[in-house]
A and B are shown apart, each in its own frame.
Chain A
Amino acid sequence: MRMFKLASTYLALILFFGVGLSFAQEPVKVLFVADRQAVSPGGALQIGALFDVAEGWHIYWLNPGDSGLATNVRIEAPSGVTVGPLQWPIPEEFVQPGDLKGYGYQAKALLFSSISGVAKEAIGGKLEFAVQADWLACRDVCIRGKDEGKVVVGVQEQVESDVSIEFVNAAKNLPLDFSGCDASCQDKLPFEFESVSFEGSNLLINSWVKWKGSPMVVSWIPYPLKDVTPKLVSISDNPKSAQVQFRLKFLDKAARNGDFSALYIFEDQNGQRVGYKMSFPLSTQKTE
């Protein structure tokens, strides 16, 4: 009995550390998934990569920050079927030693695209999507990873399948594009964007948000823009409003074109977060 207890203890330790070590060697596991088992022509379908990140590790958002590498997911669809842009849930911000900022995901993250263009002629058959993913996972060290797989979805005339809960939750965590928010949409928001001002050739942008109700906690994450280095200067808030001030450094004169976008994340007193993508035109601003 004693030997049995000893043996089972040793086995448990081997399994625990063995599995733990094995997972640490592969800190990220990815599943290629669809939001439903079957699709009808013209119906909704989403395909994506579900990342499971080991504790203490992270993978990166579209803008990885001061270091890192954006996670990459490529979806190849059958002929005639269109893959929409990759959707990125609101990331977390983390600060690494050396005051190095990073943006990304810990635990689980689903990056996915909407699919369209499923033809009536495909009814009764199956659609096969080839998906590839590559990423950089970091903790105290960094490991590059990649994987690929197929997602197969049936095509039926009418579909009543449930949507996967992973996709439902991921959709709730997607940022909203503020430019697409018309007057009726803005009426429903708990805040309003008051104004924006631009200063200097290395643009200093001041933005003000006014609370309609209870104040919220604001965080700011820049979208990537080639040859533009954004730096958050300050977020100052009071019970009635918040000011977000950031500076853009242009590493190449030609970079002063198009729009710069940033994710404004608002967290209420219950810890609920909502993110808005705000865009700021660059080319119309004066240069010194």
Chain B
Amino acid sequence: MIKKSFLTNLILGLVVALTSYCQCFASPGSLGVGDKAPLFTLSDQDGAQVQLSDFKGKIVVLEWTNPDCPFVKRHYATGTSKALEARYREKGVVWLAINSTSYMSADESRAFKEANQLPYKILSDFQGNVGRLYGAKTTPHLFVIDQQGAIVYQGAYDDDPRGENSGSSFNYVAAALDSLFENKSVERAETQPYGCSVKYAS
């Protein structure tokens, strides 16, 4: 005879599994601040598999990138991304770049990582599935996920799309991360991202 507790656990397990499954298939582009960040599995630039669930309990920054985009090139030339990643890595923040550029391959991501001496992975999303799921519009487009797996910020790096105010621009990502470490709610939780359009496949 099957024990009641086993059946209860089985039902609960099915409910949890179905909930996770549904997260993966959230309506594309409909994500907002406060929503659970959809789980995904992508390969990095060397082909190693990376799952968002690997970083459960940690703060994660997702940075949509495209090595061909002049906005991305500018941020890497000025060291915006690397400096931010280094500063917050010490506090346990995980930084993942995602390349949803349809005409690229892992080789280009690897070359970009090496050329810029990046300490973090560039994940391959050339079919654009994860990009569309998150509603990533531009490169760069940043998402900050808190320790509970919720999106607490999404949008631009800073308030300087033309790159004319380096040194005096306000960095939204840093502000969001600082708020998390100070146990405060993120004041500017959403901004209009700027950059090249994510080069999704037609």
Taking Cβ atoms with an 8 Å cutoff, the residues of A that contact B are: 66-69, 72, 96-100, 102, 134, 136, 138, 140-144, 227, 229, 251-252
Contacts and interface: CB of A to CB of B under 8 A. Distances in A.
B184 interface: no
Interface residues of B, number: 28
A134 to B, nearest CB: 8
A271 B195 CA distance: 33
B198 A100 contact: yes
B13 interface: no
A142 B70 contact: yes
B202 interface: yes
B200 A66 contact: no
A251 B199 CA distance: 25
Contact of A68 (B155, B197, B199): B197
Contact of A69 (B155, B161, B192): B161
B45 interface: no
Contacts of A134: 162
Interface in B152-167: 155, 161-162
A227 B202 contact: no
Nearest to A100: B197
Among A66, A142, A227, max chain B CB count under 10 A is at A142
A57 to B, nearest CB: 13
Nearest to A229: B192
B127 to A, nearest CB: 12
Contact of A251 (B29, B131, B192, B196): B192
B120 to A, nearest CB: 24
Nearest to B128: A98
A69 B162 contact: yes
Given A98-B198, A141-B199, 13 more contacts: A67-B193, A68-B196, A68-B197, A69-B161, A72-B162, A98-B128, A98-B131, A100-B137, A100-B198, A141-B69, A144-B70, A251-B188, A252-B188
Nearest to B193: A67
B26 to A, nearest CB: 16
A227 B188 CA distance: 10
B197 A227 contact: no
Contacts of B181: none
A265 B101 CA distance: 33
A227 B191 contact: yes
User: Helix, strand, loop or mixed for chain B's interface?
Assistant: loop
B137 A67 contact: yes
A269 to B, nearest CB: 31
Given A68-B197, A98-B200, A227 B162 contact: no
B143 interface: no
A42 B90 CA distance: 65
A97 to B, nearest CB: 4
Given A66-B137, A69-B162, A72-B162, A140 B195 contact: no
A68 to B, nearest CB: 7
B70 A97 contact: no
A206 B64 CA distance: 35
B175 to A, nearest CB: 13
B70 A140 contact: no
Given A67-B196, A251-B192, A143 B137 contact: no
Nearest to A65: B197
Contacts of A142: 68-70, 196-197
Contacts of A99: 29
Contact of B194 (A69, A97, A141, A143): A69
25 contacts: A66-B197, A67-B138, A68-B196, A96-B197, A97-B128, A98-B137, A98-B197, A98-B200, A99-B29, A100-B137, A136-B70, A136-B196, A138-B196, A138-B197, A140-B103, A140-B199, A141-B196, A141-B199, A142-B68, A142-B70, A143-B70, A229-B192, A251-B155, A251-B188, A251-B190
A278 B192 CA distance: 23
Contact of A102 (B161, B192, B197): B197
Contacts of A100: 137, 197-198, 200
B196 A227 contact: no
Nearest to A226: B192
